[in-house]
Amino acid sequence: MAASGAAGGGGGLAFLSLALGVSLLKCLLIPAYYSTDFEVHRNWLAITHSLPVSQWYYEATSEWTLDYPPFFAWFEYALSHIAKVFDPEMLNIQNLNYASPRTVLFQRFSVIFTDILFIYAVYECCKCIQGKKAGKELTEKPTFILSILLLWNFGLLIVDHIHFQYNGFLFGLMLLSIARLFQKRHLEGAFLFTILLHFKHIYLYVAPAYGVYLLRSYCFTADKPEPTASNNCKAFPFQERPLSCLLGSKLLGFVQCFGQDTLHYCLLSVGKSQDAGIYLLLTTTGHYSLFPLLFTAPEFPIKVLLMLLFTVYSFSSLKTLFRKEKLLNWMETIYLIGLGPLEICCELLFPFTPWKLKYPFVPLFLTSVYCAAGITYAWFRLSFTMLPGLVVDKAKLR
């Protein structure tokens, strides 16, 4: 049964433990470094709380003007009423770069609390995994592996809970939308994606893939059964390639702005070995590309340790799931091993060279180019793997 690994018995308890564990880890990261994005969102709290709606997008006291779609502005407005209880001064537009201890506490906890939507979305996605390769042990089940890869995602942890952003609940909307597509609840999936677009415009590049997917899987289909408990998720194998196209379009945006976007491709990584290989290439390269975001000394051991733990688990768990299949070829393996020497050169050796003052951009340049090459390669590999699947799906429709 598709939902057994996530919702049944020990699986449900394990999921709850994973969610609680990562939430506690996020609390431990509260005192960590935060970027200018912290001030960006503090300023947006002040704007939406202090000014009428007509002035929200025109207020320019701070250089960090409100530039997200309306739903996110209203989200900040709702948060501002809770922020007032913690420290009213953070809602003063003139208090630029204001960061009292109570302000930091509120901002950090606001990200942790809104991640509840992300946790729920992960739970729903895990219910849609059929688990054909499920092992006897809970830790070998695809649903358990997927839960860890999503809930404990390294990129999301450092970008949201150290660097500071609100990607968690946005990814939650995206994953929940995809889960509804898995469950043949197409209208709900489309509605959730529309809401997501009104929160953050960067997801606009996924819209064409969503449109094509919905046209094929919902609009131009003769058989549209009602979404009941008995037929939810049954069409997962049939939908796998179209969904790959959808996630592939998301990956194209990931090539343009590295980060934690490998979250979406997790959904396919536990299904087939070729997708698992692409995921490992993506997640390792993409997560390493986030290292320059945390350039302060105290965060160096944190980012290295968290990435090593997540990467080791990703490789070991997926290798256990696909015991007899090869996930990466020799060229891809050498490429990933090359991230080690690159980190040593950029973080440990370059700062002691005479070029540090004259060419301070070199480490970031090398990291960007190296990671861009790997992610672009992964995108092309994904494109080639989708072609045979599309041909097979077309044959099934005849």
Q: Give me the pLDDT at residue 187, please.
A: 93
CA separation for the pair 376, 286 (Å, rounded): 11
For the stretch 320-337, pLDDT in tens is 999 888 999 999 999 999
Alpha carbon distances (Å) from 85 to 97, 105, 112, 391: 19, 12, 18, 58
Q: What is the tens place of the pLDDT at every residue in 25-49? A: 999 999 999 999 999 999 999 999 9
Buried b (16+ CB within 10 A) or exposed e, 137-168: eeeebbbbbbbbbbbbbbbbbbbbbbbbbbbb
Residues 217/223/226/232 CA torsion (nearest 10 deg): -60
In single-letter form, the type of residue at position 229 comes to: A
Burial of residue 307 (number of CB atoms within 10 Å: 0-12, 13-18, 19+): buried
Q: Whose CA is closest to 211, among 166, 181, 256, 176?
A: 181
For the chain, 398 residues long, give each residue's pLDDT as a single digit of tens.
344 445 444 678 899 999 999 999 999 999 999 999 999 999 999 999 999 999 999 999 999 999 999 999 999 999 999 999 999 999 999 999 999 999 999 999 999 999 999 999 999 999 887 655 556 788 889 999 999 999 999 999 999 999 999 999 999 999 999 999 989 999 999 999 999 999 998 888 888 888 888 888 888 875 555 544 334 443 333 544 445 555 544 444 443 344 445 777 888 888 889 889 999 999 999 999 999 888 898 899 999 999 999 999 999 999 999 988 899 999 999 999 999 999 999 988 998 898 888 888 999 899 989 998 998 898 888 878 776 554 445 444 34
Token pair of 58, please? 């025109």
Kindly list the distances between the CA atom of residue 388 and the CA atoms of 212, 378, 380, in Å, as whole numbers in the listed order: 18, 17, 14
Is the CB of residue 61 less than 8 Å from the CB of residue 82?
A: no
Burial class (CB in 10 A: 0-12, 13-18, 19+), 57: middle
pLDDT of residue 272: 87
